[in-house]
Structure 1
Amino acid sequence: MPVCLQKGQKVSLTKDNPGLTKVVVGIGWDINQYDTGTSFDLDSSAFLLTGAGKVSCAEDFVFYGNLKHPSGAVEHLGDNRTGAGAGDDEQIKIDLSKVPANIEKIAFTVTIYDAETRNQNFGQVGNAFVRIYNEATGEEMMRYDLGEDFSIETAAVFGELYKHGSEWKFNAIGSGFYGGLAALCANYGVETE
């Protein structure tokens, strides 16, 4: 039975699962029935962060334009441009045994592609969730349903995996950003053009 988290809750992934190294982060959403005149394209990303809460290099930002971290620790399984259908819309594989020693957190975010031009925001997105399951068994370990507390935001941090001693834990964050991917990149120290 997966642990269902509320905003701000933390849970250990590895404490009760010794030897766990490979997990999949599934992220999903539905589009509310608002007609903005154009389709939605949401994009998930992972930021590999040092203790300072910043990336150490551009490759620490894993997204549709950089699908695999050089360490092999994080791999984005591809861009879903519609979000149609049930279940995960995008997935990111994590190999905890390969996470570089200088990385203390991996933040999972979702942005709305070209949100300003398309006049779209997270107030028009429903049923957003992040879940983590064991890659070997397929067993869902935890799930965080974000709820409907967004309005004008065009980017959101869904949650983060983080090291706590020898354990890996998950923190359900659910915080929104205005300014899309550029705002997230600035927050995490990724230089954009």
Structure 2
Amino acid sequence: MSFNLSKGDRFSLSKAAPGLSVVKIGMGWDPNDQPNGPEFDLDVSAFAINSSFKIPSDSYFVFYGQVRMGNCVKDIVENELDRPITDDQSILGAIDDPDGKRSDGDDDEDMFIDLTKVNPKVEQIIICCTICKYPHDNKKDRRTLDLNFGQVEDCYIRIVNELNGEELLRYDLKDQYTNEDAVEFGRLFRVGDSWEFEAMGRAHTGSLQTLVDMYT
């Protein structure tokens, strides 16, 4: 049974699925592309942070631009390309999907987290989505500077028990955005020996760099 969360809701992953180890974080969106307009490219990233709200090392900033090193859950996630990966082999980052088009039932991008391997220094893992803008976009189109989440619909994050494919929860973003181009969708955080999830929906301007400045 999957639970639909609202902004600010917290959900105990450990209670919902005792013995939970590997989770899939699936995310999706539908950009409102304009004819002959700039292309949308949304990117998923994660910041695994410690008690000081900072990443313990560069490895814990997980995004498509990292060196692709391997597959930490290769026995579970088969036939995968190499992805960004943390030093503790716990977080397998997303593969960039620049066109934002997906088949029915598929996520735009996903990442995998082995909760049993997360470094004890990591207290929470914040899952984010940002709009790629000039000069980092593929076509070097200055018009991407004006893109924002107000032009994106049906944004969601969901968590799946990767061992059996059961969806545990889903959070659909309902906020009306204007100039924001970076959103912290949600966070996984420790409560003693358990893991919980909070639906955040916290938006920022400044795209990915704003989040990098916050957590590094």
Q: Same fold (TM over 0.5)?
A: yes
Q: Distance in 2 between matches of 1:114 and 1:33?
A: 15
Q: Distance in 1 between matches of 2:172 and 2:36?
A: 24
Cα 1:113/1:33, change in 2 over 3 Å = closer
CA deviation map 1:51-73 (0-9, x unaligned): 12111111110010121111110
Cα 1:33/1:148, change in 2 over 3 Å = farther
Number of matched pairs:
189
The one-letter code of the counterpart of 2:45 is S
CA deviation map 1:13-61 (0-9, x unaligned): 0123221111100011001254571110000001000012111111110
Give the match for residue 119 of structure 2.
100
Residue 148 (structure 2) pairs with residue 121 (structure 1): yes
Superposition pairs for residues 69-84 of structure 1, below 5 Å? 69-84=86-101
CA deviation map 1:76-98 (0-9, x unaligned): 14111111123311101000000
Give the match for residue 141 of structure 1.
168
The one-letter code of the counterpart of 1:4 is N
Superposition pairs for residues 20-169 of structure 1, below 5 Å? 20-35=20-35, 37-66=37-66, 67-85=84-102, 86=104, 87-114=106-133, 117=142, 118=144, 119-169=146-196
Are the aligned partners of 2:63 and 2:94 in contact in 1 as well (CA < 8 Å)?
no
Matched residue SS, 1:182: helix
Matched residue SS, 1:14: helix
Equivalent of 1:178, from 205, 209, 214?
A: 205
Q: Distance in 2 between matches of 1:93 and 1:140?
A: 14
Cα 1:115/1:127, change in 2 over 3 Å = farther
Are the aligned partners of 2:130 and 2:183 in contact in 1 as well (CA < 8 Å)?
yes
The one-letter code of the counterpart of 1:12 is S
Deviation at 1:124, TM superposition (A): 0.4
| More moved, 68-77 vs 174-183 | 68-77
Report which of the two structures shows the higher radius of gyration computed on alpha carbons.
Answer: 2
Q: Distance in 1 between matches of 2:32 and 2:157?
A: 18
Matched residue SS, 1:186: helix
**Structure 2 gap ranges (5+):** 67-83, 136-141
Identity in percent: 39
The one-letter code of the counterpart of 1:113 is C
| More moved, 99-108 vs 141-150 | 141-150
Are the aligned partners of 1:126 and 1:148 in contact in 2 as well (CA < 8 Å)?
no
Matched residue SS, 1:183: helix
Matched residue SS, 2:212: helix
